[in-house]
Amino acid sequence: MLNASPRFISSNVDASASMKNIFIPTPAEPFRKIEMYSLAFNATYTTSGILSYGFTHMVVSPLDLVKCNMQIDPTKYKSITSGFRILLKEHGVKGFFRGWVPTLLGYNAHGDCKFGFYEFFKKYYSDIAGPEFAIKYNTLIDLAGSASAEVIADITLCPFEAVKFKVQTQLGFARGLLDGYPKFFKSEGLYKGLVPLWGHQIPYTMMKFASFETIVEMIYKYGIPTPKEQCNKNLQLGVSFAGRYMASVFCAIVSHPIDNLASFLNNAKGANVGDAMKKIGVVGLFTRGPTTGGGLPAATKVEKA
């Protein structure tokens, strides 16, 4: 899978003349090159998003299940440990994966749009800014690109996320996606939780992509004496995972209060933000439930052909 692409490749003739032959080698086929921003390049990024999002979110479904129940009923689920113990006693091992189908399908679509459109918008805004300003304000372009991509990605995720949350926290609501989706659509519509989801996911994603790219650059600049181009693939992969982990910590802190808010609104029919604030409180927004993070693509170096 891929690391973030070069900060700027302009469509301007003069600026692109010296960069038009930039390619990215595929890990499985080292002699095959993918031209930057070609159809194959965008397809690779969207595929990376699917693989890194749907599967990883499904794998951590048990932790997500505990988190959601801690957010809704903190008197019963007081900690992660007690939450696992209670759920195991009441529902067995199989119960830990309630909602795994909407999780898998929803985050597959979400990752597809998030990573694919991130690269599209990053280049689009870079072209608008021009070569000089795109390099000077690269972090702002990362933020704008990630926010724009997340707006689209959340539209695909919202119905799946809402059904998943109902299945996980309201026993008897539905067994899964097939019977839960029609019930939720009939009672509350598809996009009741879209605005809170945007409030959670957009700052989360902006922090994730911007901090990830910045952290990786700083690791190569200050932590590794060898230039990135001379590092082997294992070291590049290790740097990418380290950057991803640290970025996930930052973005989880930023987005956790809105995650609690979205959970409350998805669970309480007819509730609004004011109701959530009265029920949870400001401190509760920051402290209720553990934080969970999503995936970022790993690294592959970018070379000139």
What DSSP line would sit under 193-217, residue for residue? THHHHHHHHHHHHHHHHHHHHHHHH
Backbone φ, ψ for residue 25 (5° rounding): -75, 140
Mean local confidence (pLDDT), 104-117: 90
Mean local confidence (pLDDT), 179-197: 82
9/23 Cα distance (integer angstroms): 12
71/264 Cα distance (integer angstroms): 8
Q: Reply yes or no on whether the pLDDT at 279 is more than 60.
A: yes
Q: How does residue 17 score in pLDDT terms, banded at 50, 70 and 90?
A: very low
Across all residues in the chain, what is the average pLDDT? 78
> What does the pLDDT read at residue 15?
42
**In the chain, pLDDT over 70 holds for what percent of residues?**
81
256/175 Cα distance (integer angstroms): 27
> What does the pLDDT read at residue 226?
83
Mean local confidence (pLDDT), 17-36: 53
pTM of the predicted model over 0.85: no
Calculate the alpha carbon distances from 165 to 52, 87, 178 in Å.
Answer: 21, 15, 14
85/100 Cα distance (integer angstroms): 20
